[in-house]
């Protein structure tokens, strides 16, 4: 039988973790090369806060009043830009694609469209209106289109 000739699992040295990491030393996600899920940047426009969201997290339904949030894909391009009203509720989203569903999002050259939100008192969505972007909205957001 070959059972006795195989080396015992106890004879192997196994290492788990990150190469170069010492026992008891913790590294931050930034040190390990991970992008933060959310990063806040202040813009040059007075009173406007711009937030950038990475990964699978969507832009929140509430944020700082009169702020803007960009959802950035893994390739570094903006996928959604959200605008918040004076109470901090999401007022509109500018989507830069048809979400892989051209039948229901037949807007623009690449499916780009705008979603306008109305909210109930309890924080649930009352209504979403989808429409084509106007020329003025295209000019205002030409940096991501």
Give the model confidence (pLDDT) of 63-81 as tens digits.
888 899 999 887 888 999 9
Instruction: Please provide the average confidence, as pLDDT, over all residues in the chain.
Output: 80
pLDDT above 90 covers a percentage of the chain that reads 34
Q: How far apart are CA 13 and CA 119, in angstroms?
A: 58
Per-residue confidence band for 129, with pLDDT thresholds at 50, 70 and 90: very high
- 10-24, 28-42, 119-133: range with highest mean pLDDT: 119-133
8 or 63, higher pLDDT: 63
Supply the pLDDT for residue 10: 55
- Is the pLDDT reported for residue 138 higher than 80? yes
Measured CA angle at 118 (ends 116, 124), to 5 deg: 125
Per-residue confidence band for 61, with pLDDT thresholds at 50, 70 and 90: very high
Q: Hey, where are the domains in the chain?
A: 36-140
- Phi, psi for residue 70 in degrees, rounded to 5: -110, 130
Supply the pLDDT for residue 56: 75
E strand segments, the chain = 38-42, 49-54, 68-72, 78-84, 90-95, 113-119, 125-131
Measured CA angle at 62 (ends 59, 64), to 5 deg: 100
């Amino acid at each position: 039988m070959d059972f006795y000739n195989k080396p015992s699992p106890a004879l192997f040295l196994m290492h788990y973790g990150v190469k170069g990491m010492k026992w008891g030393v913790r590294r931050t996600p930034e040190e390990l090369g991970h992008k933060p899920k959310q990063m806040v940047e202040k813009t040059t426009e007075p009173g406007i806060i711009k937030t950038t969201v990475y990964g699978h997290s969507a832009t929140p339904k509430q944020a700082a009043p009169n702020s803007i949030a960009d959802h950035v894909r893994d390739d570094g391009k903006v996928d959604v830009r959200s605008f918040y009203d004076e109470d901090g509720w999401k007022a509109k989203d500018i989507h830069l694609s048809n979400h892989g569903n051209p039948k229901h999002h037949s807007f623009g050259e690449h499916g780009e469209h705008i979603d306008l939100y109305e909210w109930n008192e309890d924080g649930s969505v009352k209504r979403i209106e989808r429409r084509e972007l106007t020329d003025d909205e295209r000019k205002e957001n030409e940096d991501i289109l």
